[in-house]
Structure 1
């Protein structure tokens, strides 16, 4: 089974949704599931090192008071706790995530895409790291399993720019208007950090469809072998 997830590293519900998907997958032990994280920028024009807090940014973006914006982050913090996450919006650093997404493409190629995504989400929401900063990206990417020299080559050039843009264009083509956005086997979509039960329902449908369905044409006289031995038709005692 293939699950594609469009998300951004500064998206709180992307982290919460990730945990809920993982909880759903735990209910299907032994199943072969490939989860691929794809690039989506909530704000492609976001600036680095603005010096503004998340609360100030939310207040300005939605025309709310600082108190109202603080209430929004408090609500998300409580939701995060329900899946074992510790969000710290008071010290979180808003930034541009494009370069982090470029290196994420390298991580996918090297087979450490899931580890990379987890490391960067935790760095943003729990450790208050600036994932728009080159040195920070290098350090986190190396922790996730990438070679430091390879990461620096990507950051010092334009590597994977087209790959990021292609995934963002693909999201637009299939109707993604917000993240997280999950696509199961290119047939079922889950938009947002839905309850775990919603993911379970989608997975059950997809797994059921993957099971082969045969029309049984056999007749009673067919010989068969089981763990108890082989039985010849008409030779029963």
Structure 2
């Protein structure tokens, strides 16, 4: 079974939705039987590469309000993130152009490390306040997940994987995607946004059942009062 996920690395609900999808797959017993493909989406491709603007300033300008009000706007998102085990730190986040990050993720996927790099980029941005629009920052993250820095530098210094990123965006448009995260489950079901956890669980379970997958056996209780290797717990 395949799940396609359109997201952007500066979208707070995308990281939350990613965790919800992972939980749904695990809790439903289909771990290891679902292929998750992350697809690119650029919320603001016009963000400068050397952006230094804080998230609060960016939100204030976007919604024509004060930075104090913008900070209040992020409080609910931070609380929502805590529910899935993520400690967002909006105080140190800055706006970022994510085009290079998406291109590197495509390259990393070819190397079999796409999920690892995407997770590291999200963590760096939302939890560590890293400037993920900057090449040097991205190259450090590449090394952390075991990929070659020089090869990544070659990707960044070219237009490699730009077509793949653009194709993802065009595909999203053809599906009528207006925002992210957006999940397409086995080409049957679409989930828009970080919806309540039960919806993810139910949809994954329904699609998996229709695909003929069988959930893994869940062991309940502890391992007490058993016999093994010729010995018994007495």
Which TM-score band (shorter chain)? 0.7 to 0.9
Distance 2:136 2:52 in 1: 18
After TM superposition, give the deviation of residue 67 of structure 1 in Å: 2.0
Contact 2:185 2:207 in 1 (8 A): yes
After TM superposition, give the deviation of residue 182 of structure 1 in Å: 0.5
Equivalent in the alignment of 1:14 = 14
Equivalent in the alignment of 1:5 = 5
Contact 2:7 2:38 in 1 (8 A): yes
Contact 1:48 1:94 in 2 (8 A): no
Gaps of 5+ in 1: 213-237
The RMSD of aligned alpha carbons is 1.3
Contact 1:103 1:151 in 2 (8 A): yes
After TM superposition, give the deviation of residue 30 of structure 1 in Å: 4.8
Deviation by residue 1:187-214 (Cα, 9 ceiling, x = unmatched): 10111011111111111211121129xx
Equivalent in the alignment of 2:219 = none
Shift in alpha-carbon separation, 1:30–1:75, aligned structure 2, 3 A: closer
Equivalent in the alignment of 1:29 = 29
Equivalent in the alignment of 1:215 = none
Contact 2:19 2:84 in 1 (8 A): yes
When the two structures are aligned, how many residues end up with a matched partner?
212
Distance 2:140 2:24 in 1: 31
**TM-score where L is the length of structure 1:** 0.86
Distance 1:145 1:34 in 2: 22
Matched, 1:147 2:148: yes
After TM superposition, give the deviation of residue 51 of structure 1 in Å: 2.6
| Stretches of 4+ aligned residues off by more than 4 angstroms | none
Equivalent in the alignment of 2:194 = 193
Distance 2:184 2:61 in 1: 32
Distance 2:18 2:112 in 1: 18
After TM superposition, give the deviation of residue 15 of structure 1 in Å: 0.5
Contact 2:42 2:99 in 1 (8 A): yes
Distance 1:43 1:206 in 2: 33
Shift in alpha-carbon separation, 1:30–1:209, aligned structure 2, 3 A: closer
Alignment of 1:124-163 (within 5 A): 124-163=125-164
Answer with 117-126 or 67-76: which moved more: 67-76
Structure of greater Rg: 1
Matched, 1:48 2:49: yes
Distance 2:114 2:146 in 1: 9
Distance 2:150 2:50 in 1: 25
